[in-house]
Chains A and B, each alone.
Chain A
Amino acid sequence: MSYHDYHEDGVSRRRVLECMTWAGTGVLWTVTGGVPRSLGLIGSAEAAEAAGMSFLQISDSHIGFDKPANPNAKGTLEEAIEKIRAMPAKPSFMIHTGDITHLSKASEFDDADRIISQAKLDVHYVPGEHDIIDEEVKLYKERYGRGTRGAGYYSFDAGGVHFVGLVNVVDLKGGGLGNLGNEQLEWLENDLKGRSKSTPIVLFAHIPLWTVYPQWGWGTEDGARALDYVKGFGSVTVLNGHIHQVMQKIEGNVTFHTARSTAFPQPAPGTAPSPGPMKVEDSRLRSLLGVASISFKQGDQRLAIIDTPLQG
């Protein structure tokens, strides 16, 4: 997949492409975790006054993971939820971009539900590859798939924004990347058809919809088609998880962003022998885990995204 394949508004588009963040073997990425904490989680009176809405993203809670990179993934999810509860301005809802559990066990889903429900927010889920590995591949759908299509994709509207939850972790092909598949892509095209181009669009899925690092499978085979369907919209935000680190890219009207995990960090592309869990000193762990808050103000083209680590 190549971004050369997208065609849009001529020169300005091309300039954007030239400025894109690809360089050498990987991507240059903006770490927004360095945002001063005082700007913090949408707290402030300012956010309350603004005509708009805010929501939260959590991702990759991997309940059941107990390896050295974080023997207590349950505990760090609890800390993340505690942080959300302590926020001065209550977000409208939360999205979870998959890998709720580590091994799709009923007990892991139960633990995740018990902890996440403490946030007392509606949660919109999409599955990660770790959520569909129970023998009968039914637990995720039973719990989170009501009213969804296929393996769990759907759309909804909130605060003037159109949200689309996509599934790119099923029916993967040998040698390939994440996969949306024809049926889902056709549905997406129809779902977006006829909507006002001024409607802000948020696409969320587990694996990045753009190609971050294919050598580690960090990308979606047919993600370009999904991005093609949103290219006429004035404001598009693509939110993903899977890579357990913050990475952001802005391309024309599209902002791509990945959230931290609440369970364990993964290495930056190409900096380790594999994308597996990264063991860091205990004192650093919580600075590499966290949540993202996203706010939308009427009239602003871009949604503001603030990543907040559990600590630091």
Chain B
Amino acid sequence: MRSINRRDFGFAVVAAALVPAGVGRADEQAVPLAIHIDNFVFAPAQLTVKVGQTVTWTNRDDIPHTVVCVGKFRSKTMDTDGTFSFTFTVPGDYRYFCSLHPHMTGMVKVE
């Protein structure tokens, strides 16, 4: 008997989140400042942008999601096809999550 500990959980989340990013769909490459939510996963899980650039998240699930970066930004609830945009003006690592499904996490790196 063994339950899943936090470390395994964290690893599983990261592993799951990386898969779609690695696949690199053509439309995402054409619009690099878009982050999509499919199957409860932010993709790409990590996105690097320049200061002043705007990132747009789009929810493509049948379930609402949010994008929350504690102390930095917080989207309204995005229903299916809902979007949220944020313009990054300060360099840094912005770790964010869905406040409804907090196992969904992602990061925007601003250079």
Contacts and interface: CB of A to CB of B under 8 A. Distances in A.
Contacts of B88: none
B3 A216 contact: no
Q: How large is the interface on A (under 10, 10 to 19, 20 to 34, 35 or more residues)?
A: 20 to 34
Contacts of B10: 175
A157 interface: no
A276 B62 contact: yes
A277 B63 contact: yes
Contacts of B99: 172
B13 interface: yes
Contact of A217 (B5, B68, B77, B102): B102
Nearest to B40: A274
B62 A1 contact: no
17 contacts: A1-B3, A1-B6, A3-B1, A17-B1, A22-B1, A22-B3, A102-B64, A133-B77, A172-B102, A175-B10, A175-B103, A211-B3, A214-B9, A217-B101, A217-B103, A276-B63, A277-B63
Given A130-B64, A176-B102, 8 more contacts: A1-B6, A133-B64, A177-B102, A211-B3, A215-B4, A215-B12, A216-B40, A217-B104
Q: Which 7 A-B pairs have CB atoms at the shortest separation, nearest pair first? A: A174-B97, A274-B39, A217-B103, A172-B102, A67-B62, A133-B77, A274-B40
Interface of B: 1-6, 9-10, 12-13, 16, 39-41, 61-64, 66, 68, 70, 76-77, 79-80, 95-97, 99-105
